[in-house]
Amino acid sequence: MENLVNKNLEKGIQLDFQKEMSYGDYLHLDKILSSQHRLSSHHDEMLFIIIHQTSELWMKLILHEVNAAIECIRRNELEPSFKMLSRVSRIQQQLIQSWSVLSTLTPSEYMQFRDKLGHSSGFQSYQNRLIEFALGNKNARTLAVYQHQPELYPVMVGALNEPSIYDAAISALVAHGLSVDEEALNRDWSQNYEPNASVEAAWLTVYRNTDQYWDLYELAEKLVDIGNQQQLWRFNHMTTVERIIGNKIGTGGSSGVTYLKKVLDHQFFPELLSLRTKL
């Protein structure tokens, strides 16, 4: 049988992995593919688990790219950040699409295993919280759910107190000679970003003089892309939850759809949107 298989393959293809690293070894597929543990016997719980696990992997990559982009912007090396931010928006599209897969789960099917989740909830996703922090949506109260994790909690507190990518972009405005109020440059990073008139004026200058400030203009549009995609992800999250559980209380204790609708009221990078009215 082995000889028959070998005859049908190109001679250069590696077949012996007794002493070589294989595809599965490199990706640690034994760990990844053995990490789906259903708590019920219901067929569709596998879908529920895999959607959320793969989403967390995509979020890990978003954080990898966003944090690297922030470092580039801080060094006033804007061009390398553009590729990273473009990749982030593509990853967000994958996350948005995942909701359409989860929406194939009907209310009747979900109710067969929902009680097995206990109080676990997507609200507790620390990577999603880190993404929101990195984009400027800060809320110290959300950290309470991580207090039971002594290794994670300090990381979350540190992220809360770090400048967001938008704070880095505002500093880049100043590095390019544009004027921004001190209160927008040296604020309490743990607080949610609030619109500032001087920041809007600086971005308006960029958009009215794109040839002179092309890199800043490009950066701004990359941020708008990411902000829009994050809002779409939030919206699709809300509509999927509404489709599956209606207005039930969330497993984590939130008001469910009502809470997710309130989240949509938050706006990322507000001056990059408000300036469009004034151009």
The predicted-structure confidence for 140-156, as pLDDT tens digits, reads as follows: 999 999 999 999 999 99
Q: What architecture is the 41-246+253-277 domain classified under in CATH?
A: Up-down Bundle (1.20)
pLDDT band at 159 (very low <50, low <70, confident <90, very high): very high
266 annotated ligand binder: no
pLDDT at position 6 is: 58
70 annotated ligand binder: no
Say which residue the tokens 């109020």 belong to: 181
Residue 256 scores a pLDDT above 80? yes
91 annotated ligand binder: no
pLDDT band at 192 (very low <50, low <70, confident <90, very high): very high
Give me the residue spans of the domains in the chain. 41-246+253-277
Residue 31 scores a pLDDT above 70? yes
The predicted-structure confidence for 78-99, as pLDDT tens digits, reads as follows: 999 999 999 999 999 999 999 9
110 annotated ligand binder: yes
Taking alpha carbons only, the member of 171, 169, 193 closest to residue 182 is 171
Residue 2 scores a pLDDT above 80? no
pLDDT band at 7 (very low <50, low <70, confident <90, very high): low
Percent of the chain at pLDDT > 70 equals 97
Compute how many other C-beta atoms are within 10 angstroms of the C-beta atom of residue 38.
Answer: 14
The larger pLDDT score, comparing residue 121 to residue 64, is at 64
Residue 1 scores a pLDDT above 90? no
pLDDT at position 117 is: 93
Is 101:47 a contact under the CB 8 Å cutoff?
A: yes
Q: How far apart are CA 257 and CA 261, in angstroms?
A: 6
The mean per-residue pLDDT over the stretch 45-73 comes to 98
The mean per-residue pLDDT over the stretch 107-117 comes to 95
pLDDT at position 4 is: 53
The 3 state secondary structure assigned to the chain is: CHHHHHHCCCCCCCCCCCCCCCHHHHHCHHHHCCCCCCCCCCCCHHHHHHHHHHHHHHHHHHHHHHHHHHHHHHCCCHHHHHHHHHHHHHHHHHHHHHHHHHCCCCHHHHHCCHHHHCCCCHHHCHHHHHHHHHCCCCCHHHHHHHCCCCCCHHHHHHHHCCCCHHHHHHHHHHHCCCCCCHHHHCCCCCCCCCCCHHHHHHHHHHHHCCCCCHHHHHHHHHHHHHHHHHHHHHHHHHHHHHHHHCCCCCCCCCCCHHHHHHHCCCCCCHHHHHHHHHC
Q: How far apart are CA 273 and CA 241, in angstroms?
A: 28
Q: Which pair of tokens denotes residue 90? A: 């593509």
49 annotated ligand binder: yes
Percent of the chain at pLDDT > 90 equals 85
Q: How high does pLDDT run on average in the chain?
A: 94
pLDDT at position 255 is: 81
213 annotated ligand binder: no
pLDDT band at 162 (very low <50, low <70, confident <90, very high): very high
Confidence (pTM):
0.93
